[in-house]
Structure 1
């Protein structure tokens, strides 16, 4: 058992040992054996990268189409959770973790802070769609090569079509609005969908971070798959006969719209909520949840930072809306939602709580609960090829949704970091051609988690102890 670690010490930039004194085995985020350097060398071979390499030194700023926007950098050296947490403490977002390197998103000030920690940064090419919009590309739409992704309006239209087509299986609720007034939807999928039956409930959420558009496609895939296959697929039929499934397809519609507002990508992460006393806009929704908020150097208090946690817990309207919805599923004093997945990109990971402590259990989790999380996580990862691990094995985060869902609501909640495994394969902006394969890739994991929602402890053979008679 490791010692409690409410607020880990991140003063040491790099250490060969886990902060608790245990040796930390090297981890390749996404479980890929291909070296990061090889992936980057392929990406940097592109003409745009060659032009950027000529424009500036490896450790300096480069000429780009959007110099005011954040960029991604390769940082070699950090090899421990503590070292990576120190990087995140600069306000940059850590996007990709390898054994002795990371990729992070940072603006000019955050990049300078990383350099002051003693690291050299190599700026990576902007995504192809980050250039000024090509002729014929409409403002507010995805760039060429990405138009298979759904805008907010297109996703809403598709959802409305599914509700009309499957009215006995699918219902739509507007559970609140975003800062800019866009509807936040909760879709319920179940036989007898109009009735609130005494059945285990499952929650799937998507798109907390604006640039992670593939997650909206994941939600739309689940809606289509569950409705269209009912009555013909025995497994889905049985599932909808015995479960109530909730899908919130877009937690951050304002940020998503802003990311593509010019017809090119802005690499935007946060929501679009103004910050009092600052010209910098936005809160990182996945650092704003009201459990261990701001506790442990796992978020930033600076409104300009990528991981700004907001001025107070659940200060973001989108977090308030979803928190209220989840609490509304407490019926007769018991939370009806038993399992959940929050979809993100990228890195191909299955993550479970806690993020705020390096301990496997930490305050608020027993060994059996940890073992259930780990067993289910590894079983799901075996179906999609992702790497399973506790969130804090990457770096410390606080105020994250899966920590809140477990710590506050006792929901077995996971984060899935979807395709790709690396920057070199598309990073936050893979081409739309990958959508069908990479959404269907998670079908089995989703079904498994929904099927075990009646008693997650069955994963460790302790259903009689925890679920008998429930």
Structure 2
């Protein structure tokens, strides 16, 4: 049992610290697949079908916000997509030769004035009828999510604990759920973190957290693989990083297609910070976020200015014990696009300061193994377009954590976008079971996937 915590190591010592940690954990674990899948372009988010566009065609819209979805034509490669993203526009979906975006009328006109060609998305492409959630009641609310967690703690007190790690802007608890054999003991084992719901409208990710919790607890003692993992790992789940945004997106009884948190911005009537552009690594460096408070990708007034970002970052920093970060691997769940992404997002380069060729190869090998299990597309984050201030880049560069972003179902807007029907929740969360287990099994030595266990993890 650990009895003390040491302060966070300096940036200069992170590489050495990472090597020490992987050596300590590397004695056990199974080899992973390193199947290469063909890289294809995918999506990152979208909106919901709604009333006709002002030009007369159908478009995607949220009734309370006036947000519609448009296709922007003539945007082909990653540099052109990055240039569009640099205007402060949130790219929803990447197609061949175009992209989909969500925008209100003012944003659409601003982009047209910049020379972009926008066409309202046909309703059939945006998802309708039986491919779209009927109502927010298809998903757990923040309150019902808390009830599920509390019930799991009550049923499995030796396996599950829950703690409030901080509060949102509006005062809601942000909770971290720990799952491990002898859960009350802080053991010297690899720790794995799963975060969900940074973006408010991505409710399927909360369902993913609850699925994982149920699968781990129900499998302990009956499933040899899960039992072995819980005996040798400490697993953390943060089911909702953005509880205010989640609540706002659904509390009216209709989806609002809300992305950001609900924090006011000084000097502006615009609300909210994009939490996944608010992390303290390469914040605002590279055109991958917006400095405008009205933008969907507004990066905030400063790194970690979003209280929710700071809560999670402080929790991660608190897991530095004896000078070493105990969290070794991480997935941040988003919707949609069926992608598995790894750092860096701020640069197109495969390697960059703090990310060696071996690091990149280990990221890719485990990422491709996970993708082989769920059918997602594995690729470096910036293959889509440049982002900065993202959680994955921060986790790796600042804390030495192998961090992946999963973009869950659907693959395209035709599957329901942000709001697929409740009938697919069980199927699409279970679809990631094997990928989660692959990461858990490799968390003690990610370099095993490239045959370098002896070098890094002996």
TM beyond 0.5: yes
* SS at structure 2 position matched to 1:28: coil
Q: Residue 115 of structure 2 corresponds to which residue in structure 1?
A: 118
CA RMSD of aligned residues (A): 2.3
Q: Residue 52 of structure 2 corresponds to which residue in structure 1?
A: 52
Contact 1:90/1:113, CA 8 A, preserved across alignment: no
In structure 1, which of residues 297, 303, 316 is the aligned counterpart of residue 293 of structure 2? 303
Q: Residue 250 of structure 1 corresponds to which residue in structure 2?
A: 240
Alignment of 1:302-381 (within 5 A): 302-381=292-371
Contact 1:345/1:428, CA 8 A, preserved across alignment: yes
Distance (whole Å) between structure 2 residues aligned to residue 128 and residue 246 of structure 1: 36
Moved more, 169-178 or 105-114: 105-114
Residue 72 of structure 1, CA deviation: 1.4
Distance (whole Å) between structure 2 residues aligned to residue 362 and residue 280 of structure 1: 35
Per-residue CA distance 1:386-442 (angstroms, 9 max, x = gap): 010000000000000000000100000000000001111101110111100000000
Distance (whole Å) between structure 1 residues aligned to residue 41 and residue 141 of structure 2: 33
Residue 64 of structure 1, CA deviation: 6.5
Contact 1:255/1:269, CA 8 A, preserved across alignment: yes
Distance (whole Å) between structure 1 residues aligned to residue 238 and residue 380 of structure 2: 24
Q: Residue 82 of structure 1 corresponds to which residue in structure 2?
A: 79
Distance (whole Å) between structure 2 residues aligned to residue 436 and residue 303 of structure 1: 37
Q: Residue 449 of structure 1 corresponds to which residue in structure 2?
A: 439
Distance (whole Å) between structure 1 residues aligned to residue 302 and residue 353 of structure 2: 22
Q: Residue 103 of structure 1 corresponds to which residue in structure 2?
A: 100
**Consecutive unaligned residues in structure 2, runs of 5 or more:** 1-37
Q: Residue 28 of structure 1 corresponds to which residue in structure 2?
A: 41
Per-residue CA distance 1:99-118 (angstroms, 9 max, x = gap): 21211112223222322343
Alignment of 1:212-223 (within 5 A): 212-223=202-213
Distance (whole Å) between structure 2 residues aligned to residue 64 and residue 363 of structure 1: 41
Q: Residues 146 and 434 of structure 1: is their aligned pair in 2 closer, same or farther, counting only changes over 3 Å? A: farther
Alignment of 1:204-243 (within 5 A): 204-243=194-233
Residue 52 of structure 1, CA deviation: 2.6
Residue 458 of structure 2 corresponds to residue 459 of structure 1: no
Distance (whole Å) between structure 2 residues aligned to residue 191 and residue 66 of structure 1: 46
Distance (whole Å) between structure 2 residues aligned to residue 279 and residue 123 of structure 1: 27
Distance (whole Å) between structure 1 residues aligned to residue 239 and residue 393 of structure 2: 20
Contact 1:30/1:386, CA 8 A, preserved across alignment: no
Contact 2:278/2:305, CA 8 A, preserved across alignment: yes
Q: Residue 253 of structure 2 corresponds to which residue in structure 1?
A: 263
Moved more, 419-428 or 69-78: 69-78
Per-residue CA distance 1:294-351 (angstroms, 9 max, x = gap): 0000000000000000000000000000000000100000000000000000000000
Q: Residue 196 of structure 1 corresponds to which residue in structure 2?
A: 186
Q: Residues 65 and 30 of structure 1: is their aligned pair in 2 closer, same or farther, counting only changes over 3 Å? A: closer
User: Which structure exhibits the higher relative contact order, with contacts defined as CA atoms closer than 8 Å and separated by 6 or more residues?
Assistant: 2
Q: Residues 405 and 65 of structure 1: is their aligned pair in 2 closer, same or farther, counting only changes over 3 Å? A: closer
**Consecutive unaligned residues in structure 1, runs of 5 or more:** 1-24, 32-42, 130-141
Residue 62 of structure 1, CA deviation: 7.1
Alignment of 1:55-70 (within 5 A): 56-57=55-56, 66=63, 68-70=65-67
* SS at structure 1 position matched to 2:332: strand
Give the number of aligned pairs: 414
Q: Residue 93 of structure 1 corresponds to which residue in structure 2?
A: 90
Per-residue CA distance 1:132-187 (angstroms, 9 max, x = gap): xxxxxxxxxx9745523100001001110011000000000100000000000000
